[in-house]
Chains A and B, each alone.
Chain A
C-alpha cells in the first residue's frame, strides 16, 4: 500500500500528463489489491488466534542463512568491480563452497579451474568480453 501511494504521488511529477495515466492506474490497482490482501490476512489471523493456533513464523534461522548468502553475493559483486571477474570469482567460489561445507579440495580446485576455463574460452576468446 505504501509503494502504491508512493508511485501515485510520484506520477504527479511526470512532465507529460498522458504518460502519468498508466502508472497512476497501476498504483490504484496495487493499492486496492494490497488492501484486500491485508484485510484477508487480518481476518485469517483473528480466526487462527481464536482457534489458539501459533501463528509465529518459525523459519528465522533459515532466513538469516539466506540473507548471509545474499550479503556474500554482494561482497562478490564489490570484489568483481575492483578486482575483475576471474580473481573475484575464484575467491567467491572457494570461500562459498567451504562455507557451505565442502571439504573435498580436489573437487573444489577442479570446479574452480574448470568453470573459469570454460567461461574464459566462451566469453573472452570467442565473445571478446572485457572482464
Chain B
C-alpha cells in the first residue's frame, strides 16, 4: 500500500500532469459551453495528443475534459436557457429563473460547488468500490433497463408543474417522437413517410436545442420594444462578481449534494443510462424530499445542486464498468477505452493489481481535476456572468447563431437544423399553452430505451409470463416499487398540499 502511495505522489506531482489537467479542463469547459458540442467530440480530438503523452497524463486529460464539459454545459443553461449539453437540461428552468431574479452568480456558484463535489465523490467511490460495483453492473440486463426507463418516465409527473395531464401529454409526445425511424429490436421502419433522413430516428440534440434555446429566443423577441434592455437589471452584487456562500445554506445543501452524487454515481455505473438520465432522477429525488417542492422549476437552488452534482458524479460512475470490465457505458467511455488500449492499459483485474499504481494515479488525477476545475471556474465566473447584462438585441441573435452551428456541426446535416427550427416553434406553442417541454425530452430519450429493453426481455422470458419473469429478478422488484412510488407520490403531494391549504384557510 505504501508503495502505491509513493508511486501516486511521484506520478501526480509533475508539470506534465498539471498541464494535461488544465488543457482537459479548459477544453472541456469551452466544449460544454458551446451548444451541440459534447464531450465525445472533445475526447476524440484529444486522443492523438494523449497518445503523445505519458499514459497517466493522457488518460487524466481525457477524464478531465469529460467532467468539465458536463459542468461547462451549466453556464449557458443557467445564463441563457440554452443547455450546452443534454446533461444540463435539468438545470435550465431553475437556473434561468434565478438569472431572471438577478441571481445568476449565485446559481453558477452553486453549480460549481455541486459539480466539483459530485465529481470528487464519484472518484472516491471509484477508488474504494470499483470491483464490487462492477459485479452489480453485470446483473443489470434488459429487464432491469426496462424498469429503469419506466422509472425515468415517472419523473414526468414531477416535471409537469401544476398540470400533470399537460406534463404527461408532453412526455407521450416525446415517446411518439422516439418511435420515428427504425425500431431498435426488429428493424421495422415507423413514421418515416419515405424521408430517408428519418430512418435513423430523431436525434435528441436538435430537439433539445429547439425546445430550450430557440423557443427561448422567440419568447425574448416577443417584447421588441424592450429588446435593447438587458435580461436583468444591473445590481451591485452581480457586478462585484463575488458570491459568498452562507454557511447555513451549505450545511442545508450537504445532504442534497451527497444524495445526488450517489444517485449520479450509481446511474453512471449502468451502461447506457448516462448523465442525461442521472440529472433528472436526482432532480426528482431532490424535489420529493424537499420542504418546498413548489419552488422547483421556479428558481430553486436545491434543483440546481441536485442536477449538477448528479451529472458530474455520472462521469466517475461511468468508469467503473469501463476500468473493471472494459464495458463502455457511453460514447465518451468508448473513446476513453480506445485511449486506454492505445496506451497498453487493458481493462480488467490486471488494472487493479499489477498496474494498480497507474490505475489509481489516473483515478486520483480525476479527483484532483474536479477540484482544479472548481478553482479555475471561480476565476472566470465573475466575467462569464456579466453576459446577462448584455441587451437582448445582442444575446438573442447570438444564441441562434451558436445553436445553429452546434446542431449543424455534429452531423454536417441541414436536416438537423430544420428539425431544431420546427421544434423551436413547437416548444414556443407548448410554452404558450403551458405544456412543459422538458418531459418531451425525457420521453424521447427513455421511450425507445424502454421499448427495446421490453422486446428483448420478451425473448429472454422464453414464453414465461412477463410479470412472473420480472418478479423472479430481485433488482426488478426494487425498481417496480420505485416506479409505483414515483407514479403516486406527486398525486399524494398534491392531495396533502390541498388539504393543508384548506386547513390553513379554515384556521
With an 8 A cutoff between CB atoms, is B455 at the interface? yes
Closest residue of chain B to A102, judged by CB? B393
Q: Is the CB of B191 within 8 A of A23?
A: yes
With an 8 A cutoff between CB atoms, is A111 at the interface? yes
With an 8 A cutoff between CB atoms, is B172 at the interface? yes
With an 8 A cutoff between CB atoms, is B382 at the interface? no
Cα(A23)–Cα(B393), bound, Å: 42
Q: Is the CB of B404 within 8 A of A76?
A: yes
How would residues 190 to 230 of chain B score, 1 for a CB under 8 Å from any chain A CB and 0 otherwise? 11000000000000000000000010011101111101100
Q: Chain B residues near A16 (CB, 8 Å)?
A: 183, 186-188
Determine how close the nearest CB of chain B comes to the CB of A39; give it in whole angstroms.
10
From A15, A34, A100, A127, B409 is in contact (CB under 8 Å) with A127
How large, as a class, is the contact surface on chain A? 35 or more
Q: Chain A residues near B138 (CB, 8 Å)?
A: none
With an 8 A cutoff between CB atoms, is B30 at the interface? yes
Determine how close the nearest CB of chain A comes to the CB of B308; give it in whole angstroms.
24
Determine how close the nearest CB of chain A comes to the CB of B100; give it in whole angstroms.
17
How would residues 58 to 80 of chain A score, 1 for a CB under 8 Å from any chain B CB and 0 otherwise? 01001101111110011011001
* Dominant secondary structure at the A interface: helix
Q: Chain A residues near B166 (CB, 8 Å)?
A: 37
From A40, A68, A92, A131, B397 is in contact (CB under 8 Å) with A92
Q: Is the CB of B394 within 8 A of A73?
A: no
Determine how close the nearest CB of chain B comes to the CB of A114; give it in whole angstroms.
10
Closest residue of chain B to A119, judged by CB? B405
From A26, A62, A81, A129, B223 is in contact (CB under 8 Å) with A62
**Among B77-85, B173-181, B278-286, which stretch is in contact with chain A?**
B173-181
- For window 142-188 of B, CB contacts with A under 8 Å fall at 165-166, 168-169, 172-173, 175-176, 179, 183, 185-188
A and B contact pairs by CB, cutoff 8 A, 25 listed: A11-B190, A14-B190, A18-B186, A20-B190, A22-B447, A22-B451, A23-B190, A23-B191, A26-B179, A26-B447, A30-B176, A36-B165, A65-B222, A66-B218, A66-B428, A69-B221, A76-B400, A77-B421, A80-B408, A92-B401, A93-B398, A93-B401, A96-B393, A100-B227, A126-B45
